[in-house]
Amino acid sequence: QVQLVESGGGLVQAGGSRRLSCAASVLPFSIYGMGWFRQAPAKEREFVAAIDRFGYNTNYADSVKGRFAISRDNAKNTVYLQMNSLKPEDTAVYYCAATAVIAVPSTAPMYRYWGQGTQVTVSS
């Protein structure tokens, strides 16, 4: 079975930066595209960013475009989300997910495996 473990969440001031990591265990990491989603209390899970299996293509939600950057290191079986210029509305649990499709989908049903999430709180 695969296991995805997020880390790097925490409390950050508005305007600050944070980098999230997602480490894949017992996973043929390089065959999966990876995505980041987030969910705030009483809100639906929303797409944040995605990257294809080779790191050639990326996709971002309009709300984070220009502020967040997704990247991956296949040698380390890890995907990252660099978050800059953070806003209070970025506060959420952030989840990484893996998809078997050869694309950068923005919809949750396209992702097969999910991590447990890491909390990011942005204070004003």
Structure confidence at residue 19 (pLDDT): 98
Structure confidence at residue 31 (pLDDT): 84
Structure confidence at residue 38 (pLDDT): 98
Q: How far apart are CA 53 and CA 31, in angstroms?
A: 6
Query: Quick one: tokens of 39?
Result: 């969910």
Q: How many residues does the chain have?
A: 124
Per-residue pLDDT for the chain (124 aa), expressed as one digit of tens each? 789 999 999 999 999 999 999 998 867 788 899 999 999 999 999 999 999 999 999 999 999 999 999 999 999 999 999 999 999 999 999 999 999 988 899 999 999 999 999 999 999 9
Query: Taking a C-beta distance cutoff of 8 angstroms, is the pair 117, 20 a contact?
Result: no
Q: In what order do the strands lie in the sheet with 18-25?
A: 3-7, 18-25, 78-83, 68-73
Q: Please, which residues bridge with residue 71 across strands?
A: 80
Structure confidence at residue 22 (pLDDT): 97
Structure confidence at residue 26 (pLDDT): 66
Tokens 């649990």 identify what position?
A: 93
Q: How far apart are CA 81 and CA 48, in angstroms?
A: 9
